[in-house]
Amino acid sequence: MLIEEIMHKDVAYLTAENTIEQAMNVMHERKIRHVPIVNDKHELIAIVSDRDIRDASPSIFHADEHLEDLQKPLSSIMKTNVVTTGPLDFVEDAASTLYEHDISSLPVTEDDVLVGMITETDILHTLVKLTGAHQPSSQIEIRVPNISGQLADVAALFKANNKNVTSVLVYPCEDPEYKILVFRVQTMDPRRIIETLESSGYEVMWPRMPGMSP
C-alpha cells in the first residue's frame, strides 16, 4: 500500500512569518500536534511541534509577564531538518522511518512541495488492516524450513481445504534454518486445517490444540 492512499491531503500549514500564538490556535482547532511550515511556493521548509510550542510558551507562573513571547514568528522555533516521505513510498517504509527517527508524523512531499501528512496513528491503523487483525479470523503460525517454495506449498493446503486467507506474514525464526509463516484465515475454528497441516508434516507453532506437545 502506498502513502498516497492513506495520507491526509487537507493539511493545516503555516509560514515562517506566522506567530507562535497562531500555531497554538491551529493545533487546538485541528487537534493536531505538528504544523508544517511552507514558503510562498508551498515548498516544505520546516515543521513545528506541540513540544516546540510548549518550550517557547510562557510559564504558567509568569504568563502575564511574557505574553509577547507568543507573538514571536515561527522562524524563531521551527525545525528545518525535516524528515519526510513521498506519496509513492510504501506504508511499511514510512513506518520504519517513524521508528528509526522516533517521531510521530511525516510530511508528504513531492518535488519539495507539501502534498499531505501522515501520523503514527494512520500507520498503525493501516498495518492493522494489512494484517487482517480487524476481521473475525484465526491466526495460525507455522515453522517451515527456510527454503523456497514453502509458502506456496502451505497456501495450497489452505486452498484445498477451502479456507480463505486474509493475510500472510513471514518473519525470521531464532534458528536461521527455519522461518515462521503467519496466516490469518477466515474461520473461528481452525482445528481441521491445523490437523491437515500437521498430518502433512508441518509444525504448527500457534495455536496449540489440546493434546499437542509443548
Going by C-beta distance under 8 Å and a sequence separation of 6 or more, which residues neighbour residue 51?
none
Q: What is the pTM of this model?
A: 0.84
Q: What is the pLDDT of residues 55-71, one digit of tens each?
A: 988 665 455 555 788 99
What are the cell numbers at 135?
Answer: 476481521
Contact 8, 120 (CB under 8 A): no
198: Cβ–Cβ under 8 A, 6 or more apart, which residues?
A: 204
What pLDDT digit, counting tens, does each position of 171-204 carry? 999 999 999 999 999 999 999 999 999 999 999 9
Domain annotation for the chain: domains and CATH numbers: 3-127 (3.10.580.10), 132-206 (3.30.70.260)
Query: What is the DSSP secondary structure assignment for residue 5, as one 8-state letter?
Result: G
